Amino acid sequence: MYRIEEAAKKTGLTKRALRYYEELGLVNPSGRTESGYRMYTDEDIAHILHVKNTRDLLGASLQEIKDMMDLSHKYELLKQGYYQEVSTEDKLNLLTELERTLLAKRGFLQDKLNKLSELLADYDEKLTRIARKKQELQTEIEIKKEDS
């Protein structure tokens, strides 16, 4: 188990950030010492890194990450309910709710992907204009050399 200082070093976050993540419900240390110090397991560290990577890679806000985690938790609970002895109608309702949950997560990711695609298209357009302008200038230089 790791104290908050060690968890901060392992995750690249500050102690304040770890406390804030806990306030938001994104992270829950596995234990506390008798003095009340937070204690983190390797599993906690992996979870914190997952949250951090989601934030960094998707550009997701902490609230968006929390919403995604809530949807994942809901999905797992619904999935467990499906495998319990319930009626066919209940299973159908659970599957419908699972579908809604996954569609919500997929929608979030699709929005992020669309924004990234727009950003890439914008960069591609700028790179094309730069290449075109470079070619024009190169041609201008060659003409000047020939005229000299």
Nearest to 15 by CA among 7, 26, 23: 7
pLDDT at 75: 80
One domain for residues 100 and 113: yes
Average pLDDT taken over every residue of the chain: 89
One domain for residues 83 and 145: yes
pLDDT at 147: 84
One domain for residues 91 and 76: yes
Instruction: Decide which of 42, 58, 74 is a domain's last residue.
Output: 58
One domain for residues 68 and 95: yes
- Please tell me the total count of domains within the chain: 2
Q: What is the pLDDT of residues 115-126, one digit of tens each?
A: 889 999 999 999
One domain for residues 113 and 76: yes
Q: What is the pLDDT of residues 46-62, one digit of tens each?
A: 999 989 988 888 778 88
Q: How much is the pTM?
A: 0.61
Structural domain span for residue 53: 1-58
pLDDT at 112: 83
Contact 22, 63 (CB under 8 A): no
User: Which CATH number is 42's domain given?
Assistant: 1.10.1660.10
Give long-range contacts, CB 8 A cutoff, 24+ apart: 44-48: 44/7, 45/2, 45/7, 45/10, 45/11, 48/7, 48/11, 48/13, 48/18, 48/21
Which residue stretches of the chain have pLDDT < 70?
Answer: none
One domain for residues 46 and 74: no
One domain for residues 79 and 123: yes
One domain for residues 53 and 71: no
One domain for residues 52 and 95: no
pLDDT at 21: 92
One domain for residues 19 and 77: no
Instruction: Determine phi and psi for 103, rounding to 5 degrees.
Output: -65, -35
What is residue 13's DSSP assignment?
Answer: -
One domain for residues 112 and 69: yes
One domain for residues 42 and 108: no
